[in-house]
Amino acid sequence: MLQAQSKISLVDEFSMEPIKDATIQVKGSSKAAVSNKKGEVFINFSEEDTLQISHLKYRKQNMSNIKPGEVIYLKRFTFRISEILLLGNPQIDPAQSLVKTNFREKVVQPKNAGELFSDINGFSLIKRGSYAMDPSMRASQYEQINIQFDGGTKAMHACPSRMDPITTLVNPEEVSRIEIIKGPFSVRYGNTSGGIINMVTDNAVETTDKFSGNISSGYESNGNSMVNMVQLEGHLNKWDLSGNFSQRDYGDYEDGDGRSIPSSFRSLGYNLEAGYSFNENNRLKAGFRQSFGRDVKHAGLMMDTDEDNSSIFSLDYNYRAEAGKFKGLTAKVYYSFVDHIMDNYQRPSFNRIEAISNVEATTYGGKLEAEWKLNNKWRLFSGIDVTNLSRDGQRERLVKMNMAGEPLAMPMEFQDKVWQDSYVNNYGVFA
Ligand SMILES: [Cu+2]
């Protein structure tokens, strides 16, 4: 039988991008071809033939009943659970904006993850110094937008003045992209009225190397500021491990008029992750990160941060089904603790009143989501999520002068409750 060269195309099931350099072989024959940049393969075959498709990054597949011109979707060999919102396919992916960050192209290093939002359309920054920056999205801010990272891990600030928003807890260099869902329409990622922001930290880089790493360092003359960072990762059998460490020391910067703006801070952070792949379909990942801020000056506030410590632990499990209506399952639990000490010891108001606040916030929660493929057009995501937040803290004041500005013979001590043992529990069911 005479056969013409037929074309088939290979596409990544998740990213919908063409797959190049895949080898296609007609089983039981010597016919083989390699896909080009557009994911196209030109090969002689008939519908009765079984085609064997192999690629380093994808699962080896035997397929029969392939018609010429057909598009074949391939599954990634390794999958990462941190990315729950997937690229490109609007059925699976509700994210309306994706922002990738490339630090090599940027001239100035971002001071924290909040600053990454400054270039995104529709966003503005609420600054309380160089350290604490809150993104505001289309005039929604603070609790109106639900900021999380890696598809659901949350940490709530402890400070009532928001000196420690979640953006200070993640290294900007770790954020590989920012996913944005505008508006209150999504239920899959927790409740929100303004929108959802998911910062994806992409640590498990797709290398087959046993061990790799990098060290980077930056200096800015304005403010005499230093950034240092080390990243390491390794693979061992079914384990993949990664870690990073970063240190920042920023001085007060000088504005255009030569005025020094009190905005200096020192911070230190690290993140450790361990993943274990039981097989191609099951993966478990544990992550632990801590960050420490010291002597943070907030030009826009009445007090400065003395200490800011945070710890976040998260555990993710991901299961992908081979075939059938049930497509997979993701589960996540996390726990975060933030404690924060602020005072006015470096401020002019110190002469009148000494004030120091010690506050803390604990956030923990989890999420369970199942994915069903009802038919080719409909997918159902169902699940439950839980977020628990509790905060406590108090402020101590020592009043040294009276209203007229005269020193008191006996300074008066006060203790104020800042959060009054407050807590919020959120439970949700979605489908
Ligand atoms: Cu504070």
pLDDT digits (tens, 9 = 90+) for 374-417: 877 787 889 998 999 999 999 999 999 988 888 888 999 999 99
Q: How far is the CA of 349 from the centre of ligand 1 (A)?
A: 16
- Decide if 371 contacts 402 (C-beta within 8 A): no
Q: How far is the CA of 81 from the centre of ligand 1 (A)?
A: 33
68: tokens are 């010429």
pLDDT above 90 (res 356): yes
Confidence band (pLDDT; 50, 70, 90) for 420?
Answer: confident
- Strand duo 195-201 + 145-149: pairing: parallel
Confidence band (pLDDT; 50, 70, 90) for 105?
Answer: low
Q: How many helices (H) and strands (E) does the chain have?
A: 0, 26
Confidence band (pLDDT; 50, 70, 90) for 334?
Answer: very high
The closest of 17, 48, 49 to 33, measured between CA atoms, is 49
pLDDT of residue 235: 83
Q: How far is the CA of 418 from the centre of ligand 1 (A)?
A: 11
Q: How far is the CA of 396 from the centre of ligand 1 (A)?
A: 13
Q: How far is the CA of 400 from the centre of ligand 1 (A)?
A: 22
Q: Is 383 helix (H, G, I), strand (E, B) or coil?
A: strand
pLDDT of residue 52: 87
Q: How far is the CA of 70 from the centre of ligand 1 (A)?
A: 59
pLDDT above 60 (res 226): yes
What is the mean predicted confidence (pLDDT) over 115-136? 83
Angle CA 266–269–271, to nearest 5: 170
Q: How far is the CA of 215 from the centre of ligand 1 (A)?
A: 32
The closest of 386, 279, 284, 263 to 335, measured between CA atoms, is 386
C-alpha distances in Å from residue 373, one per residue of 126, 187, 188: 42, 19, 16
* Structure-model confidence comparison of residues 324 and 336, the more confident one: 336
* Structure-model confidence comparison of residues 390 and 58, the more confident one: 390
- Decide if 66 contacts 269 (C-beta within 8 A): no
Q: How far is the CA of 306 from the centre of ligand 1 (A)?
A: 9
Q: How far is the CA of 164 from the centre of ligand 1 (A)?
A: 7
Q: How far is the CA of 159 from the centre of ligand 1 (A)?
A: 4
pLDDT above 60 (res 222): yes
372: tokens are 């069903």
pLDDT of residue 123: 85
Q: How far is the CA of 308 from the centre of ligand 1 (A)?
A: 8
DSSP 193: S
Which of 28-37, 136-145, 380-389, 407-416 is least confident?
136-145
Q: How far is the CA of 161 from the centre of ligand 1 (A)?
A: 5
Q: Where are the domains of the chain?
A: 6-74, 180-430
pLDDT above 50 (res 38): yes
* Structure-model confidence comparison of residues 182 and 289, the more confident one: 289
What residue has token string 């602020």? Answer: 342
258 dihedral zone (left: phi>0; alpha: psi -120 to 50; beta): left
Which residues pair with residue 343 across a beta bridge?
A: 304, 356
What is the mean predicted confidence (pLDDT) over 237-251? 89
Q: How far is the CA of 26 from the centre of ligand 1 (A)?
A: 66
pLDDT above 80 (res 60): no
User: Where are the extended beta strands (E) located within 251-378?
Assistant: 253-254, 260-261, 265-277, 282-296, 304-320, 326-343, 353-373
260: tokens are 């020094």
* Structure-model confidence comparison of residues 393 and 132, the more confident one: 393
Q: How far is the CA of 250 from the centre of ligand 1 (A)?
A: 19
d(CA 96, CA 306): 39
16: tokens are 């919908």
Share of the chain above pLDDT 90, in %: 26
Which residues make Cβ contacts (< 8 Å) with residue 425, sequence separation at least 6?
386, 387, 388, 389
**Mean pLDDT of all residues in the chain?**
84
Sign of CA dihedral 234, 235, 239, 240: positive
pLDDT of residue 335: 96
d(CA 143, CA 129): 20
Q: How far is the CA of 405 from the centre of ligand 1 (A)?
A: 26
d(CA 364, CA 313): 9
Q: How far is the CA of 158 from the centre of ligand 1 (A)?
A: 8
Sheet with 40-43: strands ordered across: 40-43, 6-12, 71-74
Which residues make Cβ contacts (< 8 Å) with residue 44, sequence separation at least 6?
3, 4, 5, 6, 26, 31
Q: How far is the CA of 266 from the centre of ligand 1 (A)?
A: 15
Pick one of 3.40.1280.10, 3.40.50.720, 2.60.120.10, 2.40.170.20 as the CATH number of 180-430.
Answer: 2.40.170.20
Long-range contacts of 273-280 (CB under 8 A, 24+ apart): 273/203, 273/204, 273/241, 273/242, 273/243, 274/239, 274/240, 274/241, 275/204, 275/239, 275/240, 275/241, 276/238, 276/239, 276/240, 277/78, 277/238, 277/240, 278/238, 280/59, 280/77, 280/320
CATH 2.60.40.1120 for domain 6-74: yes
Q: How far is the CA of 166 from the centre of ligand 1 (A)?
A: 13
The closest of 269, 214, 10 to 104, measured between CA atoms, is 214
Q: How far is the CA of 328 from the centre of ligand 1 (A)?
A: 42
265: tokens are 């801070």
